[in-house]
Amino acid sequence: MTLAILCSGQGRQQRDMFALTGDAPEAAPLFAHAAALLGGRDPREFVRDEADEVLHRNRAGQILCTLHPLAAACALADVIPHGVIIAGYSVGEVAAWGVGGLFDATATLNLVARRAEAMDAATRAGDGLIFVRGLSRDEVDRVCERHGTAVAIVNPGDAFVIGGGREALSGFARDARAMHARIVALPVEVASHSQRLSPASAVFREALREASVIFPPRSGARILSGIDAAPVVVRETGLDKLAAQISQTVQWADCLQACVEAGATGFLELGPGHALSGMVADIAPGLPAHALDDFRSVEGVRTWLTRQVNL
């Protein structure tokens, strides 16, 4: 088996998101470090006690959704095979660098905190994202041009995430519904992956210059860049793309296709949530694809991974 690991973005934060990994001794230092970034609040208590609005604020959301795959990777380190393919969705791409061993795990958390702060500084009141399904890319592009919105993420199956300001998104949604598309407002208050966040890309690139990068990674992992689905084969080029991704379209459908073309025979989404593993069926029906949240215990994940690797 060639395993592809998928690292989720924001949006699926919820009360029991650390149910599987919260007690993993291997992940204890990560939870302690994340607590320092969350004002001294233990992330496990934070997600249980805070209002949904707080969980979905950009900075807290990015930290929580990066901690989730990093903690899982720590708990599963001895059964994750050498040479996995790793792709990350939105902030999940930074997590992917940490899971793959290009960044130290605690440094990864520091970087996503700085990333979120740069994005917040560049964000205008009312900015956000919506999800649309049921229009072709050409149709989406025409409606975006009409309203001054932008395609933030391209998902499989004519599904897109659109970024922009409040009035522009409302106009897009009105026209898209008239074309019989499905629209869902997303709990994100930044226009991620659009040119509105170009200043944040520049700030984050400077932060990445200070980062210690282990390249090539000792894990043998192949990391895919979100904006073009190409493997990271040159350190500086990879870092350039990682920063640019904040303000450029994420080609997620291409990333999943690239996993398959690179030989992936199974997928594990480290979450939170099931969204990415669910998309695999649109690209490669029949390939096994599970999310961490599909299992009741870390031991169950370990058993599944061991069985798949030995097939």
d(Cα 300, Cα 192) in Å, to the nearest integer?
35
Does 11 score more than 90 pLDDT?
no
Give the strand order in the sheet containing 266-271: 222-223, 85-88, 3-7, 266-271, 289-291
Does 6 score more than 70 pLDDT?
yes
Which residues contact residue 79 at a Cβ distance below 8 angstroms, ignoring those fewer than 6 apart? 302, 305, 306, 309
d(Cα 311, Cα 307) in Å, to the nearest integer?
6
The whole-chain average pLDDT of the chain stands at 96
Domains assigned to the chain: 3-122+195-309 (3.40.366.10), 128-185 (3.30.70.250)
Would you put residue 308 in left (φ > 0), alpha (ψ -120 to 50) or beta? alpha
Question: Is residue 191 a contact partner of residue 168, using CB atoms and an 8 Å limit?
Answer: no
pLDDT value for 311: 66
pLDDT value for 197: 98
pLDDT digits (tens, 9 = 90+) for 187-204: 999 999 999 999 999 999
pLDDT digits (tens, 9 = 90+) for 214-271: 999 999 999 999 999 999 999 999 999 999 999 999 999 999 999 999 999 999 999 8
Question: Is residue 246 a contact partner of residue 204, using CB atoms and an 8 Å limit?
Answer: yes
pLDDT digits (tens, 9 = 90+) for 162-188: 999 999 999 999 999 999 999 999 999
CA distances from 245 to 84, 109, 132, 275 (A): 22, 18, 20, 20
Whether pTM exceeds 0.85: yes
d(Cα 269, Cα 241) in Å, to the nearest integer?
22
Sign of the alpha-carbon torsion through 133, 134, 139, 143: negative
pLDDT digits (tens, 9 = 90+) for 116-168: 999 999 999 999 999 999 999 999 999 999 999 999 999 999 999 999 999 99
Closest CA relative to residue 186, chosen from 159, 147, 204, 224: 159
* Tokens describing residue 196: 């509105």
Does 309 score more than 80 pLDDT?
no
